[in-house]
Amino acid sequence: MGIPREGMPAADIAAALTVIRREDPPVHGGHVLAYVYDAGVEASATAGLEALGAFAEVNALDPTTFPSVARIENDLVGWGLDLMQAPADAAGVLTSGGTESCVLAVLAARERWRRRGGAGTPTLVMADTVHPAFHKAAHLLGLDVRTIAVDRTSLRLTADAVRSALDASRDEVALVVASAPSYAHGVVDEVPGIAAAAAAHGVPCHVDACIGGFTLAYARLGGESVSAMDFAIEGVTSIALDLHKYGFSPKGASLLLFRDAELRSGTYYAFSAWPGYPVVNTTLQSTKSAGPMAAAWAVGHALGHEGFIDAVGRAREATRRMARAVDEIPGLRVVGEPDSTLLALAGDGDQPVDPFQLADAMRRRGWTLQPQPSLGDLPRTLHLTVQPVSLESVEEFTRDLAEAAEEVQPLPWIDVSADLETAFANLPDLTSGGPLPAEMAGVHALIDALPPEIRDPALTAIFSALFTARRDEGSPPGR
């Protein structure tokens, strides 16, 4: 319940937190193939955590009081601009993560649109595979959304589709978004053509490289041929890449980069018409810890460019080997052509493997893969964020995957669409605070079967139940 009446000794606190964390999956080692990014280099992980602690209490709100903040941010932004082949007058901002970068990219574009006399409601043009952070941005910032279907074979947003959408639009489009790559399928949109189409209409083009920016850049620097996606493409006006993903740093850091400082100015906010300190914010947050930025700086310095080229090379090699192994497994296929280090697996052939039951079968073998529900004609899939450390366990993974697929292939797919009520009634209690039930396929099948207008409220209801406060009973605080 909350906190105890009397303070606890440090050793007891550490022991209690260890117990609380016991049900979490491991964040290192490569058995969790979503949410975590393990370079497999102990020295860089340690350097990051030490810097995180050392700077945790520095307030990055004010770089005039804490000069270290501007120094570190300028180094990190410079690193990102170099990787993204930005021109000399490009600029950037360090944010707390991918979602904040996406929201601020949209805000910057909206402010630019307004400065140029835009009237009415600005519109975001983007793919149906774009990360939900852009829908959230539109929701928060009052933009309309025009969603374009990606090509159903390549799963990329095509230049032709964007050109047609822009040709058909009036002058209300504030921003076109492309992904490099999309999270769900791991493929890079047709960025050069999309950016050219946007430029032809005088519209900025943002590249969401939150998950692929570091991997694509370092693969290129390592001599591989990769999809073009950065500022070397004339019409690309902003790019986001997350330090806390394939920058291998602790959570809480992302880079949002702009071709010019004029576009960046839209993310800044100042207010001094109150009797307190003049507020100047470069991001949505005001008071914020300098820990994550110091950690990202430390990881960057621990690995260096050579370390990144090596780490990304290992992740790419693991991705290729895992994809080749999937090609050999009956009933399973890789969706699209993996352009970076992400894989999406779907059922295949006459007797397709149900991805949701495959996730459970893999969980029993110690692996966490991420179920992704179907969307119209886009199938259910399993997402894999492949990491450098994955190379060490490719054989173990592919053996377990083949075995799990063989076990699941004969099973009928779980489809609860005919009786949603019973499926609801049979839902496991996800709110007990314990580990997830071993069998989650039914839950995912239920989410899959729900009509879109019910899916999102149902998901928020689950989270609302998960976040139920633990209150003191009978011993109120105070003396």
Ligand X SMILES: Cc1ncc(COP(=O)(O)O)c(C=O)c1O
Q: Is 247 in the site for ligand X (CB under 6 A)?
A: no
Q: Is 201 in the site for ligand X (CB under 6 A)?
A: no
- Which secondary structure element, helix H or strand E, spans residue 147, and what is its range? strand 144-148
CA pair distance 455, 445, nearest whole angstrom? 12
Query: In what side-by-side order are the strands of the sheet with 91-95?
Result: 91-95, 254-258, 236-241, 205-208, 173-179, 123-127, 144-148
Q: Is 31 in the site for ligand X (CB under 6 A)?
A: no
Nearer to ligand X, 95 or 409 (CB): 95
| Residues 158-197 contacting ligand X, CB under 6 A | 179, 183
CA pair distance 226, 216, nearest whole angstrom? 6
Number of residues that bind ligand X (CB under 6 A): 12
Q: By the 8 A CB rule, do 281 and 269 touch?
A: yes
Q: By the 8 A CB rule, do 383 and 411 touch?
A: no
- Amino acid occupying residue 255: L
CB of 310 to ligand X, least distance (A): 23
Nearer to ligand X, 179 or 238 (CB): 179
Q: Is 319 in the site for ligand X (CB under 6 A)?
A: no
Q: Is 33 in the site for ligand X (CB under 6 A)?
A: no
Among 189, 230, 242, 339, indicate the residue that binds ligand X (CB under 6 A). 242
Contact segment (CB under 6 A) with ligand X among 44-52, 96-104, 196-204, 430-438 equals 96-104
Which string of DSSP letters, residue by residue, matches 387-411? -GGGGGGHHHHHHHHHHHHHHHTTS
CB of 101 to ligand X, least distance (A): 7
Among 36, 133, 312, 384, indicate the residue that binds ligand X (CB under 6 A). 133
Helix, strand or coil for residue 233? coil
CB of 65 to ligand X, least distance (A): 28
Q: Is 99 in the site for ligand X (CB under 6 A)?
A: yes
Any residues with CB less than 8 A from the CB of 223 and at least 6 apart, and which? none
Q: With 0-12 CB in 10 A as exposed, 13-18 as middle and 19+ as buried, what is 316?
A: buried
CB of 254 to ligand X, least distance (A): 6
Q: Is 248 in the site for ligand X (CB under 6 A)?
A: no
- Count, residues in the chain: 479
CA pair distance 242, 257, nearest whole angstrom? 11
Nearer to ligand X, 242 or 400 (CB): 242
Q: Is 338 in the site for ligand X (CB under 6 A)?
A: no
Q: Is 76 in the site for ligand X (CB under 6 A)?
A: no
CB of 83 to ligand X, least distance (A): 16
Nearer to ligand X, 208 or 400 (CB): 208
CA pair distance 221, 83, nearest whole angstrom? 9
Among 41, 60, 210, 229, indicate the residue that binds ligand X (CB under 6 A). 210
Contact segment (CB under 6 A) with ligand X among 168-176, 194-202, 205-213, 307-315 equals 205-213
Contact segment (CB under 6 A) with ligand X among 94-102, 332-340, 365-373, 432-440 equals 94-102
Tell me which residue of 411, 68, 92 sits closest to 268, measured CA to CA.
92
Measured between its terminal Cα atoms, the distance across the chain in Å is 18
Q: Is 211 in the site for ligand X (CB under 6 A)?
A: yes
CB of 131 to ligand X, least distance (A): 4
Q: Would you state the structure tokens that stand for residue 364, as one six-digit string?
A: 């029993």
Q: Residue 435, preceding bond cis, omega within 30 degrees?
A: no
Q: Is 98 in the site for ligand X (CB under 6 A)?
A: yes
What is the distance, to the nearest Å, from the Cα of residue 21 to the centroid of all Cα atoms in its chain? 23
**Phi then psi for 249, rounded to 5 degrees?**
-105, 160
| Residues 426-465 contacting ligand X, CB under 6 A | none
Q: Is 230 in the site for ligand X (CB under 6 A)?
A: no
CB of 98 to ligand X, least distance (A): 2
Pairing verdict, β 279-281 and 269-271: antiparallel
Contact segment (CB under 6 A) with ligand X among 93-101, 139-147, 156-164, 386-394 equals 93-101
- Amino acid occupying residue 272: S
CB of 96 to ligand X, least distance (A): 8
CA pair distance 177, 203, nearest whole angstrom? 10
Q: Is 102 in the site for ligand X (CB under 6 A)?
A: yes
Applying CB under 6 A, the residues found at the interface with ligand X are 97-99, 102, 131, 133, 179, 183, 208, 210-211, 242
